[in-house]
Amino acid sequence: MKLLVIEDEVKLAEYLRKGLTEEGYVVDVAHNGVDGLHLAMEADYDLLVLDGMLPGIDGLGLLAALRLSKQTPVLMLTARIRVKGLQGGADDYLVKPFAFSELVARIQVLLRRARPARDAEGATVLGLSDLEMDLLRRKATRAGRRLDLTAKEFTLLALLLRRQGEVLSRTEIAE
The answer to the question of residue 53 lying near Ca ion (CB under 5 A) is yes
The answer to the question of residue 51 lying near Ca ion (CB under 5 A) is yes
Positive or negative, the CA dihedral 42, 23, 121, 71 is negative
Span interacting with Ca ion, options 4-12, 31-39, 87-95, 126-134, rule CB under 5 A? 4-12
DSSP characters for 108-175?
HHHHHHH-GGG--TT-SEEEETTEEEETTTTEEEETTEEP---HHHHHHHHHHHHTTT----HHHHH-
The answer to the question of residue 95 lying near Ca ion (CB under 5 A) is no
Q: In the complex, what is the shortest distance from the CB of residue 6 to Ca ion, in angstroms, rounded to a whole number?
A: 9
Q: In the complex, what is the shortest distance from the CB of residue 54 to Ca ion, in angstroms, rounded to a whole number?
A: 6
Query: Which of 61, 116 has the CB closer to Ca ion?
Result: 61
Q: DSSP class of residue 3?
A: E
The answer to the question of residue 35 lying near Ca ion (CB under 5 A) is no
Q: Which residues bind Ca ion (CB under 5 A)?
A: 8, 51, 53
